[in-house]
Amino acid sequence: MSKSIDQIFISAKQWLLSWLTGAPDWVIQVASSLINIFTLLAVFLTLFALMSVLERKILGRIQNRYGPNRVGPFGLLQPVADGIKMLIKEDIVPARADKIVHFLAPILIAAAAVLALGVIPYGRNMTPFTIDGGILFFFAVGSTTELAVFMAGWGSNNKFSMLGAMRAIAQMISYELPLIITVLPVVMVVGSLNPDAIVAAQNGYALGLVPRWFVFTPWGATAFILFFVSGLVESNRTPFDVPEGESEIVAGHMTEYSGFKYATFFMAEYIGMFAITGLAATLFLGGWHSPMRALEFLPSYVWFFAKLSALLFVYIWLRGTLPRTRVDQIMNFAWKFMLPMAFTCVIAAAVWHYAGRGLRGWLWSLVVIAIVYTALSILLDARRKFAPRTYRFAE
């Protein structure tokens, strides 16, 4: 019974495809891909609508106010109202803008975000597109976002837009390094770039109790935290939202966008968030595996989306709690702390592997990480100068 519920979406797809029996192979292939694409879009656009209202609700809670509560029960229909508002707003393109580039930027950024969703395993046998180098695909597609952001900033022909785009690209490129290097230990230990293989490697329980998720090893926990923070920066969220920086450069690269194009940027940001948290869950939190043997009767996709929601909640929580960091602070943090720690994770994972993947490896990798962390903290602390900030160009 629980098995058929677990595979209910697969069976539904097969039932839909059974209508096409007898058709040529390529028709079935295209139809199968289209079903995957439409399901992905439907699920994640719904999640986007839900997330936008939930985020405002939770932020309201944190700031001791109600949040949206007028449209529909508990304000749940707020995204519908927002969508209609965005659709009927006037679409303004600046007279001096580079019209084509200005038009293409939101499309490219949304396409890149949606493509990244395609390789994440959402449940048992539920990877929309199985690619041998799925993890690489994720980052390859994600790296086109930088070009899209640049196009938005350049195409708008506006100082604030260009400044925002440059900030965004600077921090995205800087944090792409720790983001990818923290994935390396997982890839090394599993020996595959395939997300399905990575999830399969986290199956089972150590001592019959603790799930074999990578987050429960010292290198995995460190890599997970680094990955999570880098993902936060990649999706330009508070406390790393200097590219938008409403109080200084209006809305960064989105300054000259209005109506539905602005909504597209907004959507791309959220879809990107889903993708990066989904990948974090896949890499470190065991993907769709359940945390306890007794809870295995729940379908796999329920577990995946539970982990996704938990991580998204932390995103919102951080947004409601932390103030915005400065550009130079973000950059220093990336190059002086995140990058060395990411390399340490790689070494610690190797130590864990060669010490036998058991308790001994666990302790040894913990020692490696603790030594580097302490040394790095002391070094960075000693070099810190408590002096008023000096400005080179703005005095």
Partner 1 sequence: MSSTAFIVIAILTLAAALAAATLQKLMHAALSFAVALVGVAAFFFSLGAEFVGLVLVFVYIGAVAVLIVFTILLTRRDVGKDRGTNWSGVIVAVAVFGGLIWTILETPSLSAAAPQIPALTVRRIGEALMTNYVWPLQCIGVLLTAALIGALILVMEERR
Contact residues toward partner 1 (CB under 8 A) are 26, 98, 100-101, 131-133, 136-137, 139-144, 146-147, 150-151, 154, 162, 169, 173, 176, 191-193, 392
Query: Cα(59)–Cα(68) distance, rounded to whole angstroms?
Result: 10
Q: How far is the CB of 193 from partner 1 (least distance, A)?
A: 5
- What is the number of other CB atoms lying within 10 angstroms of the CB of residue 191? 10
Query: Cα(138)–Cα(116) distance, rounded to whole angstroms?
Result: 5
Using DSSP's 3-state secondary structure scheme, residue 204 falls into coil
Q: How far is the CB of 209 from partner 1 (least distance, A)?
A: 33
Q: How far is the CB of 137 from partner 1 (least distance, A)?
A: 6
Q: How far is the CB of 158 from partner 1 (least distance, A)?
A: 14
Nearer to partner 1, 194 or 255 (CB): 194
Torsion, Cα of 48, 49, 52, 58 (10° steps): -110
CB 209 within 8 A of CB 220: no
Contacting residues for 186 by C-beta, under 8 A, at least 6 apart:
198, 214, 220, 223, 283, 284, 349
Nearer to partner 1, 110 or 141 (CB): 141
Q: How far is the CB of 395 from partner 1 (least distance, A)?
A: 13
Closest by CA to 51, choosing from 226, 330, 337, 270, is: 270
Nearer to partner 1, 54 or 193 (CB): 193
Nearer to partner 1, 82 or 176 (CB): 176
Closest by CA to 156, choosing from 267, 265, 268, 252, is: 252
Nearer to partner 1, 191 or 356 (CB): 191
Q: How far is the CB of 213 from partner 1 (least distance, A)?
A: 24
Nearer to partner 1, 133 or 358 (CB): 133
Query: Cα(318)–Cα(338) distance, rounded to whole angstroms?
Result: 19
